[in-house]
Amino acid sequence: MTTYPMSDEDRAIQQRARTFVDEKLIPWEQHAEANGGEIPADDRATHGRMAKELGLFAMNMPTELGGTGMTMLQQVLVSEQIGRVTNALGWCVHTPPAWAPAVVSDHQMETWIKPTISGEIHECYAITEEGAGSDVDAIAATARRDGDDYVLDGVKMHVTSYNHASYCFFQGKIVGGPSEGAHAMFFVDKDTPGVREVRSPAYSHTYPDSHALVAFEDVRVPAANLIGEEGDGLAFTYEWFRYERLMIAARCCGAAERLIEEATAFAKGRVQFGQPIFSFQAIQHMLADSLTELWAARLMTYRLAENIDAGVDVKLQHAQCSMAKLYASEMANRVADRAVQIFGGRGYMRENVAERFYREVRVDRIWEGTSEVQRNIIADQLGKRGVQPLVG
Ligand SMILES: Cc1cc2nc3c(=O)[nH]c(=O)nc-3n(C[C@H](O)[C@H](O)[C@H](O)COP(=O)(O)OP(=O)(O)OC[C@H]3O[C@@H](n4cnc5c(N)ncnc54)[C@H](O)[C@@H]3O)c2cc1C
């Protein structure tokens, strides 16, 4: 456990999540890897139930809505432990859209958000398109007002968990009227006529969740499905990005910790040239660099979570979330690469944790904004604010 100053409650939450991951989730990794990410439905249901019983499900939601209302530091502590397990087995600890409760209508709260918090239904995000990835503002999807409805059109890419979702957050640009060209976000039930999965490509990781290409063709939804006002869509997306970037940083710290533990144990036991490979300085240095970088990333991530709990300025949060995501994701990729090297040929086998993480943490440098985009955000804030506010 960590020596970072935290309350007894924080430490208890951290320990609860760690025990759950170690005892219930990690034992399923190799089965999941060998079965396209799947484990038996009963066991998956058990994991979901346990996550709820342990108070880890919907940890980011207020207690009055049925969540467990954890502080941001506590959420980071849990996400870090979730990051220690491969194959998305940790996704049973679901965090519904943190930005939503403050902005949705009563109807939307009852229809989509509360059932998501209770785990009855699941959401997915349909924002990225063929021509709009890093440049979210380039989306071609449209939303046209027609009487009491909106008509939505567009083709979305990489829609994560589409196979498990019952509704999508769809982002499109308004066509016609005073808000022409503004971003807007909508709730769209998957069974609405005109919503169609085009295909579900394979990705590097072995996850049970798809990342589908989804077409929205003449999809008619009531105006009551618009979230907030026309023009609010991009702000919701940025808030989602900030939260996810912090949680990615936390999960990357967890992945790195697991990798260092496993690689160290292996290096102490593996004998070549008559001695454990841990005695070779080349191996020691890879582990020493990994440990040092993990500490730096963890301190940064915890501190940022505390800053958010303390309510620091949102622009500062935006830059610091980018710094934490950038550093922790690149750190985890370096650590995974070294771990594969330390395991040697075994590190190239899918039954080996280092091999799985080597593929899995790669996307952490891409999704929720690439490393290059994070650097752009950080540099932009540096130019506007100077050094001290960002790192002081
Ligand atoms: C597994 C996975 C799951 C995903 N899940 C979802 C999801 O659920 N919902 C969703 O909407 N999206 C999702 N995404 C999309 C993800 O957010 C985008 O892939 C990401 O934002 C990058 O966009 P892109 O892939 O189009 O790359 P591009 O934007 O085409 O970038 C290509 C390269 O150009 C670089 N580049 C682009 N612009 C700049 C710049 N200004 N300066 C420097 N370099 C630049 C990038 O860094 C990158 O190296 C997912 C992606 C993946 C891989």
Do the Cβ atoms of 371 and 330 come closer than 8 Å? yes
Distance 370 CA to ligand 1 centre (A): 6
Q: Is the distance from the beta carbon of residue 372 to the nearest atom of ligand 1 less than 6 Å?
A: yes
pLDDT of residue 392: 84
Q: Which residues of 165-197 are buried (b: 16+ CB within 10 A; e: fewer)?
A: bebbbbbbbbeeeebeebbbbbbbbbebeebee
Q: Is the distance from the beta carbon of residue 203 to the nearest atom of ligand 1 less than 6 Å?
A: yes
End-to-end CA distance of the chain: 27
Query: pTM for the full model?
Result: 0.97
- Is the pLDDT at 307 greater than 90, yes or no? yes
- Is the pLDDT at 77 greater than 90, yes or no? yes
Nearest residue by C-alpha to atom 24 in ligand 1: 133
- Is the pLDDT at 49 greater than 80, yes or no? yes
pLDDT of residue 319: 96
- Is the pLDDT at 176 greater than 90, yes or no? yes
Residue 370 CA: which ligand 1 atom is closest?
47
Q: Which one, of 9, 344, 314, 359, lies nearest residue 206 by Cα? A: 359
Distance 133 CA to ligand 1 centre (A): 4
Chain mean pLDDT for the chain:
97
Cα 138 from Cα 142, distance rounded (Å): 11
Distance 279 CA to ligand 1 centre (A): 42
Q: Is the distance from the beta carbon of residue 376 to the nearest atom of ligand 1 less than 6 Å?
A: yes
Burial environment of residue 307 by CB neighbours within 10 A (0 to 12, 13 to 18, 19 or more): middle
pLDDT band at 245 (very low <50, low <70, confident <90, very high): very high
What SS3 state is found at 219? Answer: strand
Percent of the chain with pLDDT over 70: 99
* 334: number of Cβ within 10 Å: 15
H/E segment holding residue 16: helix 8-20
Q: Is the distance from the beta carbon of residue 130 to the nearest atom of ligand 1 less than 6 Å?
A: no
Residue 376 CA: which ligand 1 atom is closest?
42
Calculate helix-pair angle for 314-343, 353-360, nearest 10 degrees. Answer: 140
Q: Is the distance from the beta carbon of residue 30 to the nearest atom of ligand 1 less than 6 Å?
A: no
170, two tokens: 């769809």
Cα 297 from Cα 369, distance rounded (Å): 18
Write the CB contacts of 245 (distance below 8 Å, at least 6 apart in sequence).
321, 322, 324, 325, 368, 369, 374
pLDDT of residue 223: 98
343-377 pLDDT, tens digit each: 999 999 999 999 999 999 999 999 999 999 999 99
Residue 135 CA: which ligand 1 atom is closest?
29
pLDDT of residue 1: 58
Which residue bears the tokens 């593929």? Answer: 359
Which residue bears the tokens 């967890």? Answer: 254
Distance 199 CA to ligand 1 centre (A): 19
135-175 pLDDT, tens digit each: 999 999 999 999 999 999 999 999 999 999 999 999 999 99
Cα 263 from Cα 338, distance rounded (Å): 9
Q: Is the distance from the beta carbon of residue 162 to the nearest atom of ligand 1 less than 6 Å?
A: no
Q: Is the distance from the beta carbon of residue 195 to the nearest atom of ligand 1 less than 6 Å?
A: no
**Bridge partners, 195 (sequence order):** 216
Q: What's the average model confidence in pLDDT over 314-337?
A: 97
Distance 277 CA to ligand 1 centre (A): 39
Lowest mean pLDDT, pick from 81-90, 187-196, 230-239, 263-272? 230-239
Nearest residue by C-alpha to atom 38 in ligand 1: 134
Distance 96 CA to ligand 1 centre (A): 22
Distance 53 CA to ligand 1 centre (A): 36
pLDDT of residue 184: 98
Within 226-352, residue ranges assigned H as helices are 233-269, 281-309, 314-343
* 379: number of Cβ within 10 Å: 12
Q: What residue type is assigned to position 32 of the chain?
A: A
Q: Is the distance from the beta carbon of residue 134 to the nearest atom of ligand 1 less than 6 Å?
A: yes
Write the CB contacts of 61 (distance below 8 Å, at least 6 apart in sequence).
67, 68, 69, 95, 96, 98, 101, 117
pLDDT band at 51 (very low <50, low <70, confident <90, very high): very high
190, two tokens: 């998957």
Distance 341 CA to ligand 1 centre (A): 28
Which residue bears the tokens 């963890």? Answer: 298
Cα 267 from Cα 286, distance rounded (Å): 11
Cα 44 from Cα 387, distance rounded (Å): 46
Q: Is the distance from the beta carbon of residue 159 to the nearest atom of ligand 1 less than 6 Å?
A: yes
Q: Is the distance from the beta carbon of residue 211 to the nearest atom of ligand 1 less than 6 Å?
A: yes
**Bridge partners, 129 (sequence order):** 132
Nearest residue by C-alpha to atom 48 in ligand 1: 370
Distance 189 CA to ligand 1 centre (A): 25
Q: What residue type is assigned to position 117 of the chain?
A: I
What SS3 state is found at 123? Answer: strand
pLDDT of residue 2: 67
